[in-house]
Amino acid sequence: MSLPNAILFPQAVLPLHIFEPRYRRMLKDALETHRLFSVALMREEPTPGQPEPHPYDVGCVGIISASFQLPDGTSNVLIQGLHRVRFTEFLPEAPYPVATIEPLETTHEPDAETNKLASRIGKLAKLRAAAGKTIPNPLLQALSALGDAEMMADLVSFTLLTDLRQKQQLLEMLDLRLRLQKLLQCLERQIKQLKVQKQLKPTKTDKGFSLN
Q: What is the pLDDT of residue 209?
A: 33
Q: What is the pLDDT of residue 196?
A: 79
Q: Kind and range of the H or E element at 13?
A: strand 13-18
Angle at 30 between CA 26 and CA 32, to 5 degrees: 120
* Low pLDDT (below 50) residues in the chain: 205-212
Question: What phi and psi values does residue 118 have, to the nearest 5 degrees?
Answer: -65, -40
pLDDT per position as a tens digit, 46-64: 888 888 888 999 999 999 9
Q: What is the pLDDT of residue 193?
A: 82
Q: What is the pLDDT of residue 27?
A: 97
The closest alpha carbon to 143, from 6, 12, 5, belongs to 12
Q: What is the pLDDT of residue 206?
A: 47
Q: What is the pLDDT of residue 23?
A: 95
Q: What is the pLDDT of residue 144?
A: 65
CB atoms within 10 A of CB 47: 9
Q: Kind and range of the H or E element at 59?
A: strand 58-69
Q: What is the pLDDT of residue 212?
A: 35
Q: What is the pLDDT of residue 203?
A: 55
- The rounded distance, in Å, linking the Cα atoms of 107 and 128 is 27
Q: Which domains does the chain have, with CATH numbers?
A: 2-103 (2.30.130.40), 112-200 (no CATH)
pLDDT per position as a tens digit, 154-177: 999 998 898 999 999 999 999 999
Q: What is the 3-state secondary structure (H, E, C) of 168-188?
A: HHHHHCCEHHHHHHHHHHHHH
Q: What is the pLDDT of residue 148?
A: 84
